[in-house]
Amino acid sequence: MTEQTTQEHLQTVNESLESGTTMQIRYLLNGALPAQDVARLLESSPPKERKLLWDLIDDKNEGEVLQYLSEDISAQFMKTMDTERLVAVSEQFEHDDLTNILQHLPETLVKEVLASMTAQNRARVETLLSYSEDSAGGLMNTDTITIRPNITVDIVFRFLRRHQELPDMTDNLLIVSRSDKFLGTLPLTKLLVADTSSTVREIMETETTTITSDMPASEVAQLFEKLDLVSAPVIDPETKKLLGRITIDDVVDVIRDEAEHSMLSMAGLEDDEDTFAPILKTTRRRAVWLGVNLVTAFIASYVIGLFQDTLDQIVALAILMPIVASMGGIAGSQVLTLVIRGIALNQIGATNTGWLLNREIVVGALNGILWATVIAAMTALWFDNLQIAYIIAAAIIINLLFAAITGTMLPVILKKLGVDPALAGSVILTTVTDVVGFLSFLGLATLFLV
């Protein structure tokens, strides 16, 4: 549960595995720990132990644990099940969670699971499967409690009491017409203080934010954050019929994924990256990113190579040139990170990009002048050469200006082109700051010193 306890459980599990006794682990995995903690334990284990632990979980508990695992890992385990187990486990999922996992399974398994369901459930899941995972339709569930507008509060209470229990996170009753058109909501907090003789129509809220099934998940998340929602109805964009509802727990996942996405993408990692992925999978994924960056590195080397003769004459240039490239890279990635976040938060658009670019150029110039002075002074002292000091100062200022412009405009342009700025931004930025850094420093040196 807390940091200590997850690590403590891992400790216990490791010790038991080493000593070969599985009794205590079985006890932990099958009841002593809540399913969420078991899922956390599996996610925090390397592949071999993960498999071992999974085998120690009783069949009847597997379904619940799967629901709390990341979809990637759930799907891995489910792929290895025979049809009967797969079907048994699927029955324990809520429809929206099941849909998400089915999207990670091979077509044949999906068909088997669907074939095993009742016609009604199959129809529901098939509808959910028809929505994109990144849309409101993909986030919603169908466990709504609906009432008609013309009944009284008293009857609502009686109607509710007929239920064994209400679905989790029910904070609103949803009001629909005879033809299932969405009319409004009745918050429980309002129902509970209402006069029992009023009708639903009199007290329901009609200015509710409704979400259409095609709204992108990121917009859904913004709405929930802005309006402090716990749940919200989802309607069909054309017929206005109620399709289901989205609850905050699923939205929190979207918010976390989105916030993590930029950081992981900037390092070329996948969103759902498994910290404990096996060696070959990890090697393959990392190799791609290293390859992309090698192209950048060779471009930089090519630029340096253009000035071979200059470098041959003045070795101090070779010693100092990484400083110019590195300062540009650092300055650029600060701007890039800020702008990528600003775009993700929808703060940046056509109206304020100009101001931002302008500010970044001024900031780049000011910091360029400041650090160019420092670097020039140190260079003059180190190499006892004023000319090189002037040249490195000029190169630093030039590179920081390019870094400011690239850092601001690159993500804006990439976004317009439909390319993920977090993924492509850092590679392109590094190429620019390396090339401009080496080109300006060695170029100026060639012009003035050789």
> Contacts with a second copy in 423-442 (CB under 8 A)?
430, 434
Q: How far is the CB of 123 from a second copy (least distance, A)?
A: 27
Q: How far is the CB of 358 from a second copy (least distance, A)?
A: 9
For residues 265 and 202, give the distance between their C-alpha atoms in angstroms, rounded to a whole number: 50
Binding-site member from 202, 205, 298, 447 for a second copy (CB under 8 A):
298
What three-state secondary structure class fits 184? Answer: strand
Which residues 209-248 are close enough to bind a second copy by CB under 8 A?
219, 222-228, 230, 248
For a second copy, the closer of residues 33 and 105 by Cβ is 33
DSSP 166: P
Binding-site member from 132, 189, 206, 239 for a second copy (CB under 8 A):
189
Q: Does 256 bind a second copy (CB under 8 A)?
A: yes
For residues 56 and 33, give the distance between their C-alpha atoms in angstroms, rounded to a whole number: 14
Stretch touching a second copy by CB under 8 A, among 24-32, 130-138, 192-200, 236-244: 192-200
3-state secondary structure 200-265: HHHHCECCCCCEECCCEHHHHHHHHHHHCCCEEEEECCCCCEEEEEEEHHHHHHHHHHHHHHHHHH
- Residue 184 phi/psi, 5-degree rounding, is 170, -175
Kindly state the tokens that stand for 310.
């200059």
Binding-site member from 300, 395, 444, 445 for a second copy (CB under 8 A):
300
Q: How far is the CB of 79 from a second copy (least distance, A)?
A: 22
Binding-site member from 33, 183, 325, 444 for a second copy (CB under 8 A):
325
Q: How far is the CB of 269 from a second copy (least distance, A)?
A: 6
For a second copy, the closer of residues 179 and 351 by Cβ is 351
For a second copy, the closer of residues 86 and 314 by Cβ is 314
For a second copy, the closer of residues 85 and 359 by Cβ is 359
Which residues 344-363 are close enough to bind a second copy by CB under 8 A?
345-352, 355-356, 359, 362-363
Kindly state the tokens that stand for 80.
């290895």
Kindly state the tokens that stand for 425.
């931004």
Which residues 127-146 are close enough to bind a second copy by CB under 8 A?
none
Kindly state the tokens that stand for 318.
């070779």
| Residue for token pair 């008609």 | 148
Stretch touching a second copy by CB under 8 A, among 25-33, 89-97, 125-133, 282-290: 282-290
For a second copy, the closer of residues 112 and 143 by Cβ is 143
For a second copy, the closer of residues 8 and 126 by Cβ is 8
Q: How far is the CB of 159 from a second copy (least distance, A)?
A: 10
Rounded to a whole number of angstroms, the distance between the first and last alpha carbons of the chain is 67
Number of shown-chain residues binding a second copy (CB under 8 A): 126
Characterize the bridge pairing of strands 211-212 and 231-235: parallel
Kindly state the tokens that stand for 102.
């089915």
For residues 137 and 396, give the distance between their C-alpha atoms in angstroms, rounded to a whole number: 51
For a second copy, the closer of residues 123 and 450 by Cβ is 450
For 114, the enclosing helix (H) or strand (E) is helix 107-115
What three-state secondary structure class fits 15? Answer: helix
| Residue for token pair 């690239």 | 406
What three-state secondary structure class fits 185? Answer: strand
Binding-site member from 151, 276, 390, 420 for a second copy (CB under 8 A):
276
Kindly state the tokens that stand for 122.
């199959």
Residue 26, number of CB atoms within 10 A of its CB: 16
Q: How far is the CB of 84 from a second copy (least distance, A)?
A: 29
Binding-site member from 23, 55, 161, 418 for a second copy (CB under 8 A):
161
DSSP 84-96: HHHHHHHTTS-HH
For a second copy, the closer of residues 14 and 21 by Cβ is 14
- Helices then strands (H, E): number in the chain? 22, 6
Stretch touching a second copy by CB under 8 A, among 52-60, 80-88, 198-206, 312-320: 312-320
Binding-site member from 52, 169, 380, 449 for a second copy (CB under 8 A):
169
Amino acid at 319: I
Q: Binding string, 49-68, against a second copy, x = CB under 8 A?
A: -------------------x
For a second copy, the closer of residues 127 and 187 by Cβ is 187
